[in-house]
């Protein structure tokens, strides 16, 4: 039976491609499908479209937990789709209890199905002390788009891309991707005493230094930069203003990667996507691998071993040139052992069918939008009509005969005496429901 399905996208710039592929496959199954941004449009879109099923990003905070809870009250089927790979089982085992809690989630929630990338993540999340819903491994969702040439028409051609960015079509193009940093995503929250932010600033300075060297020594290349979706633009614009390097903050990662010849990253999952296309990627610095203590990138993590790693800008430039002198140009320089580790652990299957499996799992979820009265936030108890009998009387067992009796709740007695001022109310006058405050009548016809 056809369904009305709404996909709420976590980050349209990053996730819209995958959401679009899933939507196409759901439409092919006969469903009506929409895509909206989750954070600021999610609730309004649900009220407008009244879908049977909603696909939401990972539930990581109280806002998303409460949003999903409301969807369930409206009788909507809910599927949580993980937008990124998580971690290997071996990484999880060596974490502290507090770090494990960050992975498992601090906030209990209920959905109809949860779509993750790998079996390792299924094994990890199955250890949560809640949730009877199925956790389904669908594979590496992000790599599907790179494994099907028929999808190339969805993106600008190299000619259009070059024109858009004013690039010389006779030259190869290098993409410089920044690292993520708290200091750039929340500059108003960073202080000098915050060690993590200080490291972020040092990493940004090293990245800008590398960009200047690349522009000076790769004059026969086009160079373009991109930033992590969550970080601020101003420090990078200021740092690159004398280089002529454009910073693209609007194009999707797929559009960029499909139209460049090489990538410099800081331990990014984009390295895997370059590998799938057979293009070289180079790792320059990695705050997560080298100096970091973040649980999501433990020192030695496989995601930080996909590409050859450089800490000297000059050596990096020589490696980029060398890759394009090889007979097999362009050269995929990813570590095959690392790719295998990722596929068996963090990423799951990289077979180009992950979005198809995701769509089928979503299609199996049932729901039917039904508006309901909202939860009350006030107590509408009256002297003669109450929501809970324990408000008036407390239940007690007799220690002798073992029978149950009730004692007037002293707090209610005091409250009622003050309210009545010694007068007995007319019961017929009280016609407000103690749960919602609505007027009630003797029968439904009235």
Measured at the CA of 278, the angle between CA 274 and CA 281, to 5 degrees, comes to: 45
- pLDDT score recorded for residue 295: 40
Of 329, 256, 269, 343, which Cα lies nearest the Cα of 13?
256
Which tokens in the block code for residue 18? 């995958």
Q: Find the distance separating the first CA and the last CA of the chain, reported in whole Å.
A: 38
What pTM did the predictor assign? 0.76
String of DSSP letters for 38-85: STTTHHHHHHHH--SEEEE----SHHHHHHHHHHHHTT-EEEEE--S-
* Fold match flag (4-143+359-363 vs 156-338): yes
- Spell out the per-residue pLDDT of the chain, length 446, in tens: 799 999 999 887 778 889 999 999 999 999 999 999 988 788 999 999 999 999 999 998 888 899 999 999 999 999 999 998 877 887 888 888 888 887 887 788 999 999 999 999 999 999 888 878 999 999 999 999 999 888 888 899 999 999 999 999 999 999 999 876 655 554 554 444 444 455 667 778 889 999 999 999 999 999 999 987 667 788 899 999 999 999 998 888 899 999 999 999 988 889 999 999 999 999 997 644 544 444 444 556 777 889 999 999 999 999 998 887 765 555 678 899 999 999 999 899 999 999 999 999 999 999 999 988 877 778 788 777 888 888 888 888 887 888 888 877 877 777 777 766 655 555 454 456 777 777 655 444 43
Sign of the C-alpha dihedral computed for residues 293, 294, 298 and 301 taken in this order? negative
| CATH T-level topology, domain 156-338 | Rossmann fold (3.40.50)
- pLDDT score recorded for residue 427: 46
Side-chain half-sphere of 237: how many Cα atoms within 13 Å?
A: 6
> What are the φ/ψ torsions at residue 230 (nearest 5 degrees)?
-100, 0
Residue environment code for 365-397, b if the CB has 16+ CB neighbours within 10 A, otherwise e = bebebeeeeeeeeeeebbbeebeeeeebeeeee
- pLDDT score recorded for residue 192: 47
Q: Please count the residues of the chain.
A: 446
Domain chopping of the chain, boundaries? 4-143+359-363, 156-338, 376-446
Of 218, 228, 222, which Cα lies nearest the Cα of 265?
228
Task: Name the CATH architecture for the domain at 4-143+359-363.
Answer: 3-Layer(aba) Sandwich (3.40)
* Burial (CB count <10 Å: 0-12, 13-18, 19+), residue 280: buried
Q: Say if CB 214 and CB 172 are below 8 A apart.
A: no
């Amino acid at each position: 039976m056809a369904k009305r399905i709404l996909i709420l996208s976590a980050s349209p710039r990053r996730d819209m491609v995958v959401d679009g592929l899933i939507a196409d496959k759901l439409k092919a199954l006969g469903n009506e499908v929409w895509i909206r941004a989750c954070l600021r449009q999610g609730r309004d879109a649900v009220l407008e479209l009244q879908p049977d099923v909603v696909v939401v990003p990972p539930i990581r905070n109280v806002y998303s937990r409460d949003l999903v809870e409301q969807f369930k009250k409206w009788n909507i089927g809910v599927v949580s789709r993980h937008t990124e790979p998580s971690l290997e089982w071996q990484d999880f085992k060596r974490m502290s209890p507090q770090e494990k809690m960050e992975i498992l989630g601090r906030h209990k929630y209920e959905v109809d199905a949860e779509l993750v990338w790998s079996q390792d993540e299924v094994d990890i999340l199955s250890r949560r002390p809640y949730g009877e819903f199925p956790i389904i491994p669908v594979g590496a969702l992000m790599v599907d788009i790179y494994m099907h040439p028929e999808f190339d028409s969805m993106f600008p051609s190299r000619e259009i891309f070059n024109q858009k960015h004013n690039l010389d079509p006779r030259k190869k193009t290098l993409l410089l991707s920044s690292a993520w940093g708290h200091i750039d995503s929340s500059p108003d929250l960073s202080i000098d005493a915050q060690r993590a932010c200080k490291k972020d600033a040092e990493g940004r300075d090293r990245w800008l230094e590398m960009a200047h060297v690349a522009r000076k020594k790769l004059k026969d290349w086009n160079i373009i930069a991109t930033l992590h979706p969550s970080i601020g633009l101003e420090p990078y614009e200021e740092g690159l203003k004398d280089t002529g390097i454009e910073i693209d903050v609007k194009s999707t990662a797929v559009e960029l990667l499909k139209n460049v010849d090489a990538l410099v990253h800081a331990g990014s999952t984009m390295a895997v996507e370059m590998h799938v296309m057979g293009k070289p990627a180079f790792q320059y610095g990695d705050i997560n691998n080298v100096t970091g203590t973040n649980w999501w990138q433990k020192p030695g993590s496989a995601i930080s071993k996909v590409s050859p790693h450089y800490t000297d800008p000059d050596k990096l430039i020589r490696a980029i040139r060398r890759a394009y002198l090889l007979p097999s140009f362009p050269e995929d320089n990813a570590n095959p052992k690392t790719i295998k580790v990722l596929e068996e652990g963090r990423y799951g299957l990289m077979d180009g069918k992950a979005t198809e499996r995701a769509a089928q799992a979503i299609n199996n979820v049932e729901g039917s939008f039904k508006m309901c009265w909202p939860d009350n936030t006030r107590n509408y108890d009256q002297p003669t009509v109450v929501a809970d009998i324990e408000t008036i009387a407390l239940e007690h067992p007799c220690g002798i005969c073992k029978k149950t009796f009730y004692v007037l709740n002293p707090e209610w007695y005091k409250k009622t005496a003050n309210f009545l001022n010694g007068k007995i109310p007319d019961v017929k006058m009280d016609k407000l429901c103690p749960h919602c405050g609505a007027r009630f009548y003797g029968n439904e016809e009235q």
